[in-house]
Amino acid sequence: MVDELDIEKGSTLKRKFTLFDAALFGIGGAIGSGILFAAAFGTAYAGAAVIISWIIAAIMIVIVTIPYAEFSSMAPRAGISARISYYSYGTYGGFLSGWALFLWAVMIPPIEAVAVSEYAAYYVPALYSNGFLTPYGIGLSILITVVFVFINLAGISKLGKFNSALTWIKIGSVITLIIMVPLVVFHPSNFTVPSFLPTIGWKGVFIAIPATGILFSFGGYRQVADMAGEIKNPKRNVPLAIGITLAVQSIFYILMSIVIIGSVNWNSLHASQGQWGAVAGLSSPLAILMQKNLSTLTGDPAVVLSGLIFLALIFAIYSPLGTFGVYLTGSSRIIFGFSREDAMPKVLGKTDKRGVPVYAIVLVAIIGDLFLIPLPSWESLVNFVVVAAVVNFALVAASIPIIRKLHPNVERSFKVPAFKLWSLIAFVVSSLLVYWAMYPTTLYAISATLLGSIVFLYQASKMHWKNLGIKNSIWIPIYLLGLLLISYIGSDSTGGIGILHFPYDVFTVIIYGIAFWFISQAMAPKVPVGDMEALILKAPKEEPMP
């Protein structure tokens, strides 16, 4: 394995991101299409209790995210979230974990492009029609991709400055909407009539987390981990930046869901009170909900609300644009890291003289745009990528005790507390999130993850079928297939055939997750796998903080 810090001309990433840049990079990735779409779509399952869905999701994401903070602090390298499983389960386990993350990574830019086109269609209807991008919308998305490819090619320091400026504008816009909208229009009865909980009860609150974009919306922190190879003083700054990102996005999402629920005027929406499906089906949720209140206002309040509608529409266009740029950058670093583990062609691990992985960026851009053809819908793209991301969550969670055992003396500026218990809980939470993503989404995403084995076989042949780690990681495809079976026979409210009813389906997944966590630990290698020491020991002298 070749480390990205080897002194090879044209193959070195540059550490130019400060803590401030890294935190804004994560927040910039977090504040995107999800803050306007998921906050509304979640009401379809959870009603007003979608607020609880956001709170539970925030807790769950902290549980599954903490391991990334430890791994990034001990080995702050590009794409570390895709690479860590190589050192806990060998080449095959690492590949499956990284492949799942690859599926997530390359699809985020098109998701944000769909969001831009959908909201822009408020002014240019030709971009979006009947829930899908038109050829004009696809053309706009490709143009956006080209622009951000050139911004990336300018170098990470210029990208950091551009993203910082745009993120401050996004933060200002969100704060303005969160404060001002309730002052003009707010309907408290929406939180209690007909009831706070949805008609399907608590299971709707949990289903909404992975199935409507809520979990997807918390993905900004991961970009910080994957940019670890370009952050100054990473052992200190990466965990801090991840924590700041999680805190800020959690507060914003919870408050925005309150704003959206309070903005619903059922009479103007021509829907019965509590008919949340009418809210979830809106193409530009916050803007349309505010617009439906205009007829009830006169004078200054009407003028203020009109201005807020315009702000919401403009924000809904440039906010996903910024997130698009963040994920295009972070995704390319995952590909870069994948290449460094010999899972993809070595050319994808090359950088230019500015430290930019050019080929990886171009690959992400091309694949992302190709996904717009079969899946030109925000919700279908989001549901697919969430399951792929959670598969990576599960494998990284299971890796905590293994990496601690195999590399006990490595310096870690941040350590997961009660690491074995935390690992078990994070693994079980990940299993639940996969199940709640609903069948047949689980079928498509798990199948796509396992199909990555075909690519693995090609790479394995180049390695002459040596050091594949099959015996250590064969439990992974079995675990995924078992989750898929539970999803299929699970509750009809999660898309299953109804053999397992709520809450017995949840108990089944919990027991299944616990059993496979113990299996994952028993099958782990007993001696270090790969050359992880290269990631840890070959770091250059850190640049001083400015």
pLDDT in tens, the chain (546 residues): 334 443 334 445 556 677 777 787 778 777 777 887 888 888 988 999 999 999 999 899 889 888 877 877 776 665 566 678 888 888 888 888 888 877 887 787 778 777 777 777 777 888 877 767 788 888 887 887 787 777 767 655 555 566 677 778 888 999 999 999 999 999 999 998 778 888 778 888 999 998 888 888 887 666 676 566 667 776 677 778 888 888 888 899 999 999 999 999 999 988 888 889 888 877 778 888 999 999 888 899 999 999 999 998 888 777 777 677 667 776 776 777 667 666 677 787 777 776 677 888 888 888 877 877 776 667 777 877 888 888 988 999 999 999 999 888 777 777 888 999 999 999 999 999 999 988 998 998 899 899 988 878 876 776 666 767 789 999 999 999 999 999 999 999 889 999 999 899 999 999 999 999 999 999 999 888 766 665 554 444 443 333
Which residues have CB under 8 Å from 167's CB, separation 6+? 24, 25, 27, 28, 31, 322
pLDDT value of position 256: 92
**Residues 90, 463: Cα–Cα separation, whole Å:** 13
DSSP characters over 491-529 = -GGGTS-SSSPTTHHHHHHHHHHHHHHHHHHHTS-SS--
DSSP characters over 262-305 = HT--TTTTTS-TT-THHHHT-SSHHHHHHHTTGGG--HHHHHHH
Cβ(349)–Cβ(90) under 8 Å? no
pLDDT value of position 205: 92
Q: Show the domains of the chain with their CATH numbers.
A: 19-537 (1.20.1740.10)
pLDDT value of position 21: 77
Among residues 252, 246, 315, 355, the alpha carbon closest in space to that of 26 is found at 246
Query: How big is the chain, counted in residues?
Result: 546
